[in-house]
Amino acid sequence: MSRALIIVRAGETFADLRTRIGDFHDWIAEGLGLTCDVSHVDAREAPDLPEPASVAGVVVTGSHAMVSDRAPWSEQLGQWLLRCVEARVPVLGICFGHQLLAHAIGGVVGYRADGRELGTIMVHQLEVGQSDPLFQHMPQVFPAHVVHEQSVLALPPGAVRLAWSSQEPCQAFRFGDCAWGVQFHPEFSATAIQAYQARLAPGAYPEDAPDTPEAARLLRLFAEYVLRRGNAG
C-alpha cells in the first residue's frame, strides 16, 4: 500500500505525561502496529490537510478542546472528515475525533448532563455490532478507559450505534461502511488513565488501574481493515 495512514492530531496530553510516555499520536501508532507508512499531521497548524484520495485511512486523536466551541481549525477538520467519508476513506475518530466526526456528518455534540465521565468502564455492544467489520471481532462486553465532558447527544441521520456504557448511550457508532467513532480511548494505557484520574479527580480513584487489551484491539482491527482495502484496491 503506497498511500499512508494519517494520524490527525487534534490536541495533546498533559506536558508531564507526554515527557514520560509520549502523546496521543504515539500511543495510537503503537496500537495500530502497522508495517506500512504511518504519518501524522497537526490539524491546528496545517493550513491544508491532504487530499482524501491520497491517504489510505485516517485516525483522529482526542483533544482537550471542545467540539461545541467551533474553533476554526476544528470546523475545517470536520469538513475534511466529511470529504473523507464521502470518498469512502476509512476513518476512526477517538473521543474528540468521535464527536467531531458525528458533528461533521450531521449529529449533535454538547456537554454531558451528568458531567465528566472518567475512569475504566464496561463497554457493551449492541447486537448490530456482530455484523460490523470491526466490532464483530470484539468481545460483547469489554473494559475501556474514558475521559470526556462532551458526548454525541444525537447521532447523524443514517449512523448506526454500536456500543454503550452505563453512563454514556453512545460509546461507538459507524457511518456508512468505513467510518467509525469511539468515545472510549483504545490507545490509553493504565499509566495514561491513572494520570488523568490523578489530575482531574485527585484521591477519588485507586492508585492503580487495569490495562484494557480488549479495547486496544480495536486499533489493530482498524489497521488491518485499512490494509485489506488498500490491497484490494
For 4-232, CATH number?
Answer: 3.40.50.880
Mean pLDDT of all residues in 6-30: 96
Q: Tens of pLDDT along 34-50?
A: 766 788 899 999 778 99
The answer on pLDDT for 230 being more than 90 is no
For residue 232, name the pLDDT band (cuts at 50, 70, 90): low
In which band, very low, low, confident or very high, does the pLDDT at 2 lie, cut at 50, 70 and 90? low
- Ranges of each domain in the chain: 4-232
Full DSSP string of 126-153: -GGGGGSTTGGGS-SEEEEEEEESEEEE
Q: Which one, of 60, 183, 71, 174, lies nearest residue 118 by Cα?
A: 183
- Give the pLDDT of residue 35: 60
Q: Give strand pairing partners of 111.
A: 150
Q: Spell out the residues 6+ positions from residue 210 whose beta carbon is closer than 8 angstroms to its own.
A: 120, 143, 190
Round to whole Å and give the CA distance between 233 and 228: 9
All three cell numbers of 158, joined, read 443514517
Average pLDDT, the chain: 94
Please determine, for residue 182, whether its predicted confidence score (pLDDT) is greater than 60: yes
Looking at residue 1, its pLDDT comes to: 44
Active-site residues, by number, are: 95, 185, 187
- Identify the helix (H) or strand (E) that includes residue 213: helix 213-232
Q: What is the pTM of this model?
A: 0.96
pLDDT digits 0-9 by tens, 56-111: 999 999 999 999 999 999 999 999 999 999 999 999 999 999 999 999 999 999 99
3-class SS at 54? helix
